[in-house]
Amino acid sequence: MSRRFNTILASFLLLACSTCPAHTAVGSGESPGESKCGSAVLNDDAVRGYVDQFNSEDESHGGQAISNAAAADWMADNIPRFECPDEDIEEIYHFRWWTYRKHVKQTPDGFVITEFLPPVNWSGKHNTISCPAGHHFREGRWIRDPLYLDEYAIFWFRKGGSPRRYSFWAADAIYHQALATGDFSLALDLLPDLIANYEAWEKSRLEPDGLFWQIDDRDGMEVSIAGSGHRGQGKRATINSYMYGDALAIAEIADRAGKPEIAEAYRGKASRIKRLVEENLWDDDAKFFKVLPRDEGAELADVRELHGYTPWYFNLPEQERGYEIAWNQLMDPQGFNAPFGPTTAEQRHPQFSVSYTGHECQWNGPSWPFATTVTLVALANVLNDYPQTTVSPKDYFATLKTYTKSHRLEREDGTVVPWIDENVNPHTGDWIARSRLKVWKNGTWDPGKGGEERGKDYNHSSYCDLIITGLVGLRPRADATVEVNPLLPEGTWDYFCLDGVPYHGRMLTVLYDKTGKRYGKGSGLRILADGKELGATQTLGRLTVPLLKR
């Protein structure tokens, strides 16, 4: 692929920090971990080069708390370094950190993370929207400065946030933030708020039969085939999986708080949801989790929708009961597989549609990064935690590559730039809502016609977390252990390096070097903490090592 940044990148060598004049390096006389950039292997040349590229291509929305001009320094100080032989994956990894940074917003109530950069009338205080907030936490937990997410978490419950305006797995998100940082103090402090939030969901959305219901629009999934709007109220795998994840997270936090009665009660809630989802939302003929309408005597919807994979995001389905057969649909071209997919509904269904009429945001066929993110996190869990033969790391890598491929926009002058927006045409790669809203006036977007560049740099999904926890395979844990299980298929790359990853108060490096010549630390897979090796293996399999004290 030919693009302008190749000429910039060609001038850089990704060197050890010991050769980086702007940073103090491990091994240069300072104690391990005192590197300014927090990295043991890679310097920040590539980070700054990518930022220069993205800034030069940016035509609007320069950022909120962190401007484009400040982006290079902020990213150098805060994001894990990453390099690999796949220039598309490496570029989009940096691009998604560059766009995430734009959504960090400083307010009188502390830092928040936004979904849209322009104000939208369906948002809450400070233009916040709870729908993608779970993704915001999963992605942002790898930023070195924890202040952004700490204040964002407090905002939702104590500073005027609206955590139940849309479905939001709040307790699970905050718990997983703590798994990455190793600091559970905020989760413990917020435990009463998380319990109150759960109880409020029970009052508003819990059916007598024990399942939760939701409207597709309040799941952020409007115009869906299984039932749309208030007439389409249903017991969905989405909201029930979110509540399952939240119940387990509350139980884990309660254990740490010394509240065994609460922990036991919430594990009981989770167990009941799990049983009811498996008994009532699994279609044994279609081999898929589906929507059950609220109507008395209703039957499961006749369509497989991508959100049927949501239970695995939280490891809800019981192992060795055969539910993993549902994953056959992911790579099936009559199911969800498409050149710029996956699609949000199975393509064989007669109501599958990629429409340019009606509502600009439809979940009846187009590919949505939100749903793709859920699917890839769920798939990583299947590959890590479930004994099965239905899917393999090749399927994870292929889906990640398809997702990466969708991060493009061809401009009117023919240039192709990195891009993330709302919904994408799974067959052509066109950003549908953008094309629908694009109304010009004197050569610029006409906000009066609804054509403002609303979806540019849209923050409704994650990408970097998929690289860190899926492809590279860092699996956050509550104990003093580092577990890595790369989902890169054997023989695909000769090297990769994820460097300066904040984890339990340390800076991790996870690298693979087939020959040992690229990084000079030996061949195979290696884990380092603050520049010191913790463990190594010659293969790309699971590697688990104790996180030694300093």
Residue 16 has pLDDT above 50, yes or no: no
Give me the residue spans of the domains in the chain. 167-301
Task: Note the pLDDT tens digit of each residue in 324-338.
Answer: 999 999 999 999 999
Q: How far apart are CA 124 and CA 133, in angstroms?
A: 13
Whether domain 167-301 has CATH 1.50.10.10: yes
| Encoded tokens for 448 | 């009066």
Mean pLDDT, the chain, rounded, equals 92
Q: In the chain, what percentage of residues exceed pLDDT 70?
A: 91
Q: With bands split at pLDDT 50, 70 and 90, how would you rate the model's confidence at 190?
A: very high
- Burial track 477-512 (b if 16+ CB lie within 10 A, e otherwise): beeeebbbbbbbeeebbebbbbbbbbbbebbbbbbb
Q: How confident is the model at residue 61 (pLDDT cuts 50, 70, 90)?
A: confident
pLDDT classification of 230: cutoffs 50, 70, 90: confident
On the question of pLDDT at 275 being above 60, the answer is yes
Statement: residue 200 has pLDDT above 60: yes
Stretch 527-549: mean pLDDT: 94
Q: What is the pLDDT of residues 369-398, one digit of tens each?
A: 999 999 999 999 999 999 999 999 999 999
- Contact 533/527 with Cβ under 8 angstroms? yes
Q: Give 153-208 as a DSSP string.
A: HHHHHHSS--TTSS---HHHHHHHHHHHHS--HHHHHTHHHHHHHHHHHHHHHB-T
More confident residue, 439 or 345: 345
pLDDT at 59: 86
User: What letter would DSSP give residue 31?
Assistant: P
- pLDDT tens track for 510-524: 999 999 999 999 999
Per-residue pLDDT at 465: 98
Mean pLDDT value of segment 258-271: 98
Which position has the token pair 């009811």? 276
State mean pLDDT over 455-479.
Answer: 97
Q: What SS3 state is found at 436?
A: helix
Flag whether pLDDT at 247 surpasses 60: yes
**In angstroms, how far is CA 78 from the centroid of its own chain?**
18
Does the pLDDT of residue 29 top 80, yes or no? no
pLDDT at 35: 42
Instruction: Output DSSP code: residue 323.
Output: G
Is the Cβ–Cβ distance between 147 and 66 less than 8 Å?
A: no
Q: Which pLDDT score is estimated for 1?
A: 37
Q: What distance in Å separates the CA atoms of residue 40 and residue 24, rounded to the nearest whole number?
A: 10
Given a cut of 50, is residue 12 above it in pLDDT? no
pTM check: above 0.85: yes
Model pLDDT, residue 18: 33
